[in-house]
Amino acid sequence: MKHEPFLSEPEAAAQGDLQLRLVLGRGADGLPVLAEPVPGALLVLSDLPRAAAGLVAVCRDIPGRTVVLGYVTAAQAARAGLAQGGADAEGWVSIGCGKAQIRLHPDGRMRLKAQDITIDSAGRMGLRGAWIDLN
């Protein structure tokens, strides 16, 4: 059986759609360091504020590059209904609503917490892991 990576490239939105990416800080070149890898070169149209960590970059992917259009705080994104949460002291990014929560860690770990989880698939759905712990 051929093993394919879970996500080979970011699939959050189709090319050309606006995307939100967490800003981890400022690189040595002055460009934002984003939590997600970007396809191609990074083109920044807006100055990065001094307190960059924890901001959310509003991006658009175009062929060969990602364009950063501007920045909003996590609170502004939440008020606009775009996202909720930001990186905590341990590096986790949390997205939540009520008692449901998705936590993502930069090293690839993910945790889902909810009262009830339902997964619907119109096609094939696979579950792979080095080991799977049921209960």
Q: What percentage of the chain carries pLDDT values higher than 70?
A: 79
Confidence of residue 6 (pLDDT cuts 50, 70, 90): very low
Tell me the pLDDT tens digit for each residue of 37-71: 777 788 888 888 877 777 888 888 888 888 888 88
Q: How far is CA 52 from CA 5, 36, 40, 91, 133, in A?
A: 31, 15, 22, 15, 39
Strand 41-44 and strand 65-72: the pairing is parallel
The distance from CA 71 to its chain's CA centroid, rounded to whole angstroms, is: 15
Location of structure tokens 């917490």? 113
Domain ranges (residues) in the chain: 18-113
